[in-house]
Each structure stands twice: as C-alpha cells, then as structure tokens.
Structure 1
Amino acid sequence: MRTFILFLGMCFLIVGKSQAQAIQGLEKTQPNIVVLLCDDLGYGDLASFGHPIIKTPNLDKLASTGIKLTNFYSTAPVCSPSRVGLLTGRSPNKAGVYDFIPGPKKSQDYRDLVHLQANEQTIPALLKSVGYATCLVGKWHGSSKFNSDEQPQPNDFGFDHWMATHNNASPSHKDPDNFVRNGEEVGKIEGFSSQVIVNEAIHWLDSRKNDAPFFLEVAFHEPHEPIASPEDLVQKYLPKAKNREEAEYFANVENVDLAVGRLVAYFEKNNIDNTLIVFSSDNGPETLMRYQRAKRSYGTPGELRGMKLWTNEAGFRVPGIINWIGKETFTGTSDKVVSALDFLPTFVALSGAALPDRELDGESFTTLLENGEFNRSKPLIWAFYNALNERRVAMRKGDWKIMARIEANGETVPRLNNLYDGNEVLVKNAKLTDYVLFNLKNDSNESEDLSLKEPEIFEKIKEEFEIQYQALLDSSYIWVRNP
C-alpha cells in the first residue's frame, strides 16, 4: 500500500511537472498583442493610404515592414458598436449595441440601458484565461453608466488595469480631466490625450512583475472632436492647410503617429519582441460641421464613398495595419477582406485560448500572417439603423457588395438609435427593398449599380443577403426596461 501511494505521488509529480512545462512552453510561443485603435480616422488619412499632406512615418513604417490592409473593415460605422464588435468577435447587434452609447439620460427607446453585458465573452477575458496580463488605455464607450456598479466596467471583461474615459476626452484632447483609473477619478492630466494614454501604457508595462505575455488596447480619442493639437504641429501644417482648423486636424493625426512611435520605440529599447501590433480605426471620418463642434473634422474617405454613419464603404472601411515584431510573417499590401470581427478568433488561435461557447461572426486570419492567404467563408453584414444614407443594411461577399433599404407599410423605416420592445415588431416585420449591387474590386467608389447588368450574380447574392440579414435580426438583442 505504501509503495502504491509513493507510486501515485510520483505520477502526480510527473504530471504536474509536465503541465507546468507545457504552460511555460506555451508562454514562450504566445505573442504579446497590441491593438491600436483610432477614433474617426478616415481611410485616406495616413500618408501610406494616400494622404498628400499629413505625415505619419511611424505608422507608415509599420505598414511597409508588415501588412498593409486595403480591405479592412470596422464592425460598425460608429464608435460604441464598433468597439463592442471588436471585443466580442460578433456583430454588435447581437450584443444590443446599435449606435453610440450616450450618458444615462432616460429615453423613450431605452438607450440609457445600453451597455456591454456581463455575459459577453471578450478578447481580454479569453487571453487572461491563458496567462495574459491585460490593459486598456483611452476610450471605453461600452456602457451608458460609466464607472458605476450598476453596469459592468472594463475590469469585468478581463482588463487587469484600465485608465479610460466614457466617450471623448474632455474638455478636449489637451489636458483632459475625465479619465478614470481602475474605478478612481484621475482629475486633470497635463498633455495631449494620445501621449497621455501611451504614457499610461508604458507605465503599466514597466510595472509588470513577470514576463507573462500581455494584451494591450490603446484606444486613441484622436481625431474625434473636440480636437486639440500641439501648437508646433499646427504651425507645421498651416502653410499647407486651407485654414487653422484643417491644420489642427492634420496635426492631430500626426500626434497619434508620434505616440505610436514612442510605444514602438519602447518595445525596441526594452527588447520586447514577439509582439503582434494591429492598427485601425473604429469607423470612418466625421463630416465637417455635421454638428456644431465638428468644425475641425477634415478627415478624408480617400477614394471611398460616404463618411462616418454611412453604410457606404467609407463608413466602415478604414486603414488596417498588422506588424509582428520579432517574427517573420508575410509582408506587403493585401487586398484580402479582413474585419475587426476577426481579431478575437485570431488572437485566441495565437494564444492557445479556447474559443467562446457561441457562434462568432469573425474568422481567424492566421494564414494571412503566415503566407498572405485568407479567403473568408462568412460574408460581412452590417445593419445600422441610424445610417445617414438611405440603404442601411449592407453585405460584402468576395468582391461584391449589396445594399438595401428597409421598408414597412410602404415607407422607409425611420432612423433608429436602438432596438427595444417598442419598435421590435416594426423592425422585424420590415422588408429589404431597393437593392443595389457593386463590384468593389473594380468600383471602390460604389458608382455603378450592377444589379441589372449582372442578374445571375445579383439574384444569388440577394438570396444570401436576405438569409444573412434574417439570421442577424433573429439573433439581435432587444432591450426591455422591466424584463
């Protein structure tokens, strides 16, 4: 008996040792993962994506030595749902986040209830389960009741450390006073927001107590209004700008680039390699003077049609850059269709974490990193009920994009900020109508409707479009005030 007990003890010791070795081996292969996310940056706002004036050498270098994505999509054409889709790998409609999340002012359509709900499985939580340290700096915008016990906060979704704002930096990017760090109000911070949050990120990286891999989300407020930029950069652009406001916008984008450069330089100085960096924007550029404070919104959609809040391309096709420091990958410009929805399954695959126990809308693009190949099997679909353009539902499949209006009782459904029990029947009984079809490979500006010229392709894609939209509608979350 004693011999048997000793034998069992040896077995457990060996198994425990092998498990520890496996975990250590996994940690050595797990990459650090950094998400750099701009706010309202247009497709054409970086030099490497065609801007003739703005200087972005640090981001351009990441693109030239990594992968420049010319068909990269955010998950929505506006901030809150875009961020929710990125974190969950699912359409934000399924989480019930249909538009930007305002503060907790009670409204008829229940927008005051909207928040990322506790049952959602997110990138930081999944990576944390396999040993990652996790951090968010910058913009959160995932709950109407920010920094309140009444709704989940960043730490409830896996962020060990966070310093964030509900929405925009206030009163502007200069000397913001509305940051909260791990539940405690910070007060006024001198400097510009992009540099402030990179300072916080570097401080967090310096304070790590071990060599565990890390997940870092750097969510810039720039170039969202209210814009404020360093005066030396503004002066640099004044000779080439239409006016001071445009110079401030140009300087704002370059200030982000400088902040990115500081972070990359920190990695290099501290020999932090095996670090996957992805850069993008939450949606397309704001329209100049769409609202009173948007007087510096000189972002450009480049060759694309539309702007922020549109379901045309410029609403959600944004600059995309991937660079894996310390690892040899495919490099070059890629026209593969990639979405921020794909971050979660890709990061899970690279980290060794388990996939969530629900269907994802994103797909892993690890093959793109390996050899430049990635052919998504699932189409991308957006239903943005508050779109400024008429056709608020859109789908991209391969080179093709189809769009439609939603109509009920012979009239276009009015613009909606939220789906709740008061408009559920209206939206679910509405029909898709007035379709258009574009070949984005040949016509990125969506200038020629091919629905009549390509009837066979149109009917085939239309059929799938209707199936995909119905599936999205069936799985969309409906808010109820008193469930």
Structure 2
Amino acid sequence: MTNFYSTAPVCSPSRAGLLTGRSPNRAGIYDFIPGLKKSDDNRDLVHLQAHEETIPALLKSVGYSTCLVGKWHCSSRFNSDKQPQPNDFGFDYWMATHNNAAPSHQNPNNFVRNGQEVGEIEGFSSQIIITEALEWLDKKQDDNPFFLQVAFHEPHEPIASPEDLVQKYLPFSKNREEAEYFANVENVDLAVGRLIEYLEKKHKDNTLVLFSSDNGPETLMRYQRAKKSYGTPGELKGMKLWTNEAGFRVPGIVSWIGENSFSGTTNAVVSALDFLPTFCELAGAELPKRELDGESFKSLLDNGEFERTKPLIWAFYDAINEQRVAMRSGDWKIMARIESEGKTLPRIHNLYDGNEALVKNAKLVDYALFNLKNDIVESEDLSLKEPEVFDSIKKEFQIQYKGLLDGSHIWLRNDE
C-alpha cells in the first residue's frame, strides 16, 4: 500500500489510534508517553482509558485468542493497577515493555510477562519477541482463531545489533553506527521471516498478516542518544514528529496466507485507523458504538478497490514543523499553522484544563494545499493556483478539525 498512514507521527498516539480505530486525540494521547513523573501539564496521567474499545477485545468477543509481544507504550504507569494494562484491553497473554527495550535491544531486562517482571533475557529484542509469540502459538490449548500483535522495538534507539550483521554492512556504511542501524533493520526482517515461515507451515489456511510502522524515521542526533538513527525518508518531506508526509506515511504490506485475495500494489489511501473496522468485518465482530475515524478496507483485500469516504486528519501539537494540523482528502493534502493572539501556538505535549482554552480558541492560519498524486514531495503549494479546490478542502478541513478538537479528551488532575 503506497498511500498508507500511521495514526500519528510518533509512537504512543499512533499505537492508541491503531488499537481503537479512532484518532488518538479522542483518547487524549497527544504525544509519546514518558515514564511516570508528575508534570504541570498532567502528562503523568496519560493512558489508554478503560472505556476504550480495542481490536483484541472486540475479536475476543467473537472467540479469538489474543496476544501482545513487544512494545506497549499506552500508559504512564506501566504494570501498575492504577492504570489499565494490556490484559484490560482484551489481551489474554502479553509480554511487553513500557517503551524501549532497555538497556538496549541486546539482553533487555525490562520485559514484563502477564504482570510479572521477567528479568534479563539473552538475545536481541526482535528475536526474543518472535520466540515468545511462537511459543504462545504452540502452547495454545484451544482451536480458537487468534489475534497476535507483534510490536518491534527496532530500529528505535538505543540500537544494538548482532555483530555478524554489523560486519555485513560495514563495507556499505559511512561508519559503524550506520552499519549497526542497517543491521538492526535486517534483524527485524529476519524475525519477521521466522514468523511468516511458521504461519505458512502451521496456519496456512487463513491467516491475514499486516506489516507497518508507528511513524516515520527518527532524525540523526535529534536527541543525545539518537546517534545511530540513520533512517531516511527517501523522497518524502520531513521525518518523525513532522506532519509532512515522512512523519506518518509509512510502509503498509498485507499478505493473506491461504486466501485468494487481491495481489499487487495499490495507491488507495489507507490508515492504521482502518485495521479495527476491517478486522471486525472479517471476523464478524460488532463495531463499537462510538464514532470511528477508520473504515473497513475489506474491498481492497477482495478486489483491489477502496475509496475512503472519510478524510484523514492529524493534529499533532508537538510537531517540529509549524503547520501542525494536516488532512488528506482524496489526492489532496491541506495543512495549517495554529495561531493564538498573533503567535504560533507553542509546542504542546498534552491537552489539560490549563491550556484547553488556549488551544480551542486558537485559529488555523497559513494554509497550504498539495496534490499528492502529482507532488509526493509537497513542493508546490496550490492554494492560489486551485482556488475552487482550496476553498472546498479548506471548509472541510475546518469542519473536521473542529470536530476532532471538540471530541479531544482533556486531562484533569482529579481524573487521577
């Protein structure tokens, strides 16, 4: 899928959007969730709330067994009874970390299995979580269908890679750090290969596999530990944390093992928001009663055709670029800066009662319009050249943003 999007340009909100089929802003997850540390903006309260309906819970309701391995990153209090944990959202079994594998991908010591700390595990994170997933599948006592979420840490920092793979890439790299990054990517590829080989052997009749990413590539040395972040956006503009295309236009690969489904390349506009409604339709599960931002792309799997009826909108208040709100509608993308009292809204990690009025009273200004079909690099602003299209898209954009803002969760200290 060449027009596939994550639900945010950064990890935690992206994962929340994937799990719920709703913009992460509605769940109140606006930025990555740090470890627990009380802050003035109530960021320490942020977590996926118990009322959110998720893919594993919905599939479990129609007889699926469910498992999460890898990265959770949907709560500020990981493995605590003070906030919901993976099992509270429908995962029967889980082995996960709060955020990154620590102290690195090699021999991590921060995994928790079903609420119990595991301690140091020998090996590399990508291979460790695949081994855990395969063991779960092997030990499954029932004949239920299954939902398995494999959330790799790699190639996020702190990067560590098998030495044989590092040596393989040294001749093609600027330095050892870049070779370690390339090796990190291949180690994920090898881990995915182990899973696919297993599924093709033991679950070859009807298994849908989707591969993607939570956001675009990290910027080298954006922070002190990002010294091995050699990912590239290719021709796309921006990087992780941007609302330009490289922030959230990510790989989207589907393989339906055992089914005679559509095969090939599609430029249909698809989002990780669409996973939940698609999986529910395929599994016969009822959709949540709450409004979804995603929609089923079953027709794409059936015959290669899918036309979105809902535009995709992102409001990422901590974006590195100034135009922090963006929307894709058909071939068009519109972006805008947020301004309050003549100044660009400051970068914000979280919406709470202390900044709610500031954000909700701010205005969208400095619009830019791009035709992504013809201009994937977002090089030519067509807002003046295409006035009729611009006026139409702008009106839709304003309506969609207001709806998203009105539905965004505001964190209050007394919610604790």
TM-score bracket, normalised by the shorter chain, equals over 0.9
Pairing partner for 1:390 from 319, 322, 333: 322
Residue in structure 1 matched with residue 347 of structure 2 by the alignment: 415
Contact 1:125 1:158 in 2 (8 A): yes
Contact 1:245 1:296 in 2 (8 A): yes
Residue in structure 2 matched with residue 321 of structure 1 by the alignment: 253
Q: Does 1:109 align with 2:41?
A: yes
Contact 1:74 1:316 in 2 (8 A): yes
Taking the TM superposition and a 5 Å limit, the aligned residue runs for 1:77-476 are 77-476=9-408
In 2, Cα distance between the equivalents of 1:245 and 1:364? 41
Q: Structure 1: which 4+ aligned runs deviate by more than 4 Å? A: none
In 1, Cα distance between the equivalents of 2:82 and 2:311? 36
Residue 152 to residue 319, structure 1, CA distance change in 2 (3 Å): same
Q: Which amino acid aligns with 1:442?
A: N
Q: Which amino acid aligns with 2:196?
A: V
Alpha-carbon shift at residue 482 of structure 1 (Å): 1.5
In 2, Cα distance between the equivalents of 1:369 and 1:111? 39
Alpha-carbon shift at residue 249 of structure 1 (Å): 0.5
Matched residue of 1:333: which SS?
coil
In 2, Cα distance between the equivalents of 1:136 and 1:389? 33
In 2, Cα distance between the equivalents of 1:219 and 1:421? 33
Q: Which amino acid aligns with 1:181?
A: R
In 2, Cα distance between the equivalents of 1:351 and 1:266? 22
Matched residue of 2:7: which SS?
coil
Residue in structure 2 matched with residue 20 of structure 1 by the alignment: none
Alpha-carbon shift at residue 100 of structure 1 (Å): 0.3
Deviations 1:294-338 (A, max 9, x none): 000000111100000000000000011001000001100100000
In 2, Cα distance between the equivalents of 1:270 and 1:148? 36
Q: Which amino acid aligns with 1:358?
A: R
In 2, Cα distance between the equivalents of 1:78 and 1:199? 27
Q: Which is higher, the Rg of structure 1 or of structure 2?
A: 1
Matched residue of 1:195: which SS?
helix
Percent identity, aligned pairs only, is: 79
In 1, Cα distance between the equivalents of 2:116 and 2:333? 45
Deviations 1:392-445 (A, max 9, x none): 000000000000000010111100000000000000000000000000001110
Q: Which amino acid aligns with 2:179?
A: A
Q: Which amino acid aligns with 1:478?
A: I
Deviations 1:177-219 (A, max 9, x none): 0000000000000000000000000000001112110000000
Alpha-carbon shift at residue 250 of structure 1 (Å): 0.5
Q: Which amino acid aligns with 1:430?
A: A
Alpha-carbon shift at residue 226 of structure 1 (Å): 0.2
Contact 1:137 1:200 in 2 (8 A): yes
Normalising by structure 1, we get a TM-score of 0.86
Alpha-carbon shift at residue 271 of structure 1 (Å): 4.4
Residue in structure 2 matched with residue 39 of structure 1 by the alignment: none
- CA RMSD across the alignment: 0.6
Alpha-carbon shift at residue 104 of structure 1 (Å): 1.1
In 2, Cα distance between the equivalents of 1:157 and 1:114? 16
259-268 or 381-390, larger mean C-alpha shift: 259-268
Contact 1:267 1:273 in 2 (8 A): no
Q: Which has the higher contact order (CA 8 A, sep 6+)?
A: 1
Deviations 1:358-416 (A, max 9, x none): 11000000000000000000000000000000100000000000000000101111000
In 2, Cα distance between the equivalents of 1:252 and 1:454? 44
Residue in structure 2 matched with residue 479 of structure 1 by the alignment: 411
Deviations 1:146-165 (A, max 9, x none): 00000000000000000000
Alpha-carbon shift at residue 273 of structure 1 (Å): 2.7
In 1, Cα distance between the equivalents of 2:259 and 2:377? 36
Residue 283 to residue 424, structure 1, CA distance change in 2 (3 Å): same
Extract unaligned runs of 5+ from structure 1.
1-68
Matched residue of 1:332: which SS?
coil
Q: Which amino acid aligns with 1:198?
A: I
In 1, Cα distance between the equivalents of 2:205 and 2:245? 35
In 1, Cα distance between the equivalents of 2:20 and 2:202? 31
- What is the count of residue pairs matched by the alignment? 415
Q: Which amino acid aligns with 1:104?
A: L
Q: Which amino acid aligns with 2:157?
A: E
In 2, Cα distance between the equivalents of 1:272 and 1:218? 19
